Amino acid sequence: MTVNFRTLHRYLLSCIVIFFLMSAGFSMAGTAPNAKLDEVSRLLMSKTFDDKSRALDVLVEQSQPRTAELLHLLLDSRLYYHKKEKQLYIIADYDTGKIAIDLAGAEQLIKKKRDYKKIILNNNLRGQINRILAELGLNSNDPQQRENAVRDLLKDITPDTVLALKARFTIEESKKVREMIRIALAINDMKSSDEVLISNAIEQLNGSLEQESRGALVTFIDATETLDTPEASALNKQAQIALKGIEDKVQYYGWLETLYFGLSLGSVLVLAGIGLAITFGVMGVINMAHGELIMIGAYTTYVIQLLMPNHIEWSILVAIPAAFLVSGLVGIAIERGVIRFLYGRPLETLLATFGISLILQQAVRSIFSPLNRSVETPEWMSGLIQINPVFSLTLSRLYIIVFCLMVFVALLLVLKKTALGLQVRAVSQNRAMARAMGVRSNRVDALTFGLGSGVAGIAGVALSQLTNVGPNMGQAYIIDSFMVVVFGGVGNLWGTLVAGLTLGVANKVLEPWAGAVLAKVLMLIFIILFIQKRPRGLFPQRGRAAEG
């Protein structure tokens, strides 16, 4: 076969030319966006805020893929530039030896801090960034993000944002987002000089709980207060009626929030007092070390987290049974070692358990030091459920309420449906008769004290999510626990539940006008007056504890 070298040469030459042309085309296509990003970088590194504002406009005009990321970095003060290299870097920890990442993702160590300078923003630029982010959020596929974007735009409505909102309204499918856009447009219409438009806007804002809605109505009322025209007076009156309706709704949700906080506090009181109700009701023991058993449960949670540093999300679930066992075993040891020799002598049991509480406090100080320890809250317990702009449910408090009810139901089932529960009720009602029927009262006493102590440990797990863990944390709840037990009725679980929730709600209702300390004093006075009329509490318990 004859090879035509001239033809082959031309063919190879054509291939090379096409290759270079294609490479050049790809290169130009790839550098076009980079060129704009370089321009943004140059403007951001400028000393004038006007250039930085222009950089933000370029980002929006070119619809860069990393626009939102760069804007968030600017707001978080994590965007720097190298003075000599004239290149942007992302720095989370601005210190020598830390990492700086360029926009291409390459990392380098910070050798000298003075080589990098943070990109400074003023309030106008921050407002501009927030508006841009909100407008970008309007085009999100997630309705919740679009709703949040509209809510962000309420803070600073401009002619540009009005146009964006109107454009979004025509294609929006979510009812919540459409309602938010209506409110935003109504707030903008409140600035109009058209009386019909203002009247329609007031009607639209009537009932809205958004802070900006109330602000727009207050501003309008103040502006028209001195005007004597009939039209202005009518609009002013309409705005006042709308504002009064909104304030009534805000007050209503404020009471709901107080009730929610009171229920969460009451749940803590129930958890702290329900174990004491069991031991006090069955054995008549005034256990002053009950607060320290709560403390042991909280420290058990702390230790579990130390043993599970990479599984914090699951540590709380492990800590609940662990705290029950540890506090329960300590309680059984206290009962077998001290209390069983002091039955029938309440003053001696009070003094003995008070001494045990001091011993336990000192033991904890020796092991963990006197300093308070912080227990990390799992992510699934953090955050809140936003019901509306003025009312939300904190997840940690909600879990405490649910947890309290679960513990209460579990104890109720144990005491009503198990052999141990039957024996506990028999001993609490008539110890001598129970012994005659073959019930081993000593064993029942130990298990009952262990059960009550274990529940105190579970209360410590719950409290560790609300406050710091320290040697003295139990002392803050011992008085409250006795108040709950006395008010509800000694040894009665239902009485403990009702008393704890009632005292928690009452305390939160009194706090706003009486203060935290005076509210507790008033609650104590109420308990003293109450037991003068009903010495056995809300739900009197029959048997030995009641008769004594």
pLDDT 10s digits, 327-370: 999 999 998 999 888 877 878 888 899 999 999 999 999 999 88
What would the two tokens of residue 331 be?
């309680």
| Tokens, residue 195 | 């009386």
Instruction: Report, as an integer, the average pLDDT of 73-81.
Output: 86
| CA–CA separation, 26 and 65 (whole Å) | 19
Q: Is 325 exposed, middle or buried (0-12, 13-18, 19+ CB in 10 A)?
A: middle
The confidence score (pLDDT) of residue 401 equals 93
Among 299-303, 459-463, 477-481, the minimum mean pLDDT is found in 477-481
User: Distances in Å between the alpha carbon of 81 and those of 52, 58, 68, 88, 515?
Assistant: 13, 18, 19, 4, 51
| 225-274 pLDDT, tens digit each | 888 788 888 999 999 999 999 999 999 999 999 999 999 989 988 988 88
Structure confidence at residue 18 as a pLDDT band (50, 70, 90): very low
Tens digit of each residue's pLDDT (9 = 90 or more) over 156-165: 787 878 888 8
Q: At residue 8, does pLDDT exceed 60?
A: no
Q: Give the pLDDT score at 65.
A: 59
Is-contact 184 154, C-beta < 8 A?
yes
State the Cα torsion 313-317-318-324 to the nearest 10°: 150
Across the chain, mean pLDDT equals: 83
Residue extents of the structural domains in the chain:
30-123, 282-493
Task: Report in angstroms the alpha-carbon separations of 532 from 273, 487, 525, 535, 545.
Answer: 21, 11, 11, 6, 18
pLDDT of 545 reads 43
Which of 375, 371, 359 has its CA nearest to residue 293? Answer: 359
In this predicted model, what pLDDT tens digit does every residue of 89-136 receive, in sequence order? 888 888 888 888 887 788 888 888 888 888 888 888 888 887 777 777
pLDDT value of residue 130 = 76
CB 446 within 8 A of CB 336: yes
The CA angle 158-163-167, to the nearest 5 degrees, is: 145
Query: Exposed, middle or buried, 297 (CB in 10 Å: 0-12/13-18/19+)?
Result: buried
Identify the band that residue 281 occupies on the pLDDT scale cut at 50, 70 and 90.
low
Q: How confident is the model at residue 543, as a pLDDT?
A: 46
Strand partners, 117: 81
- Token pair belonging to 464: 């560790």
Tell me what pLDDT residue 64 has. 58
Q: Which two tokens stand for residue 88?
A: 């942007």
What digits encode the pLDDT tens for the residues 202-215?
Answer: 999 998 888 889 99
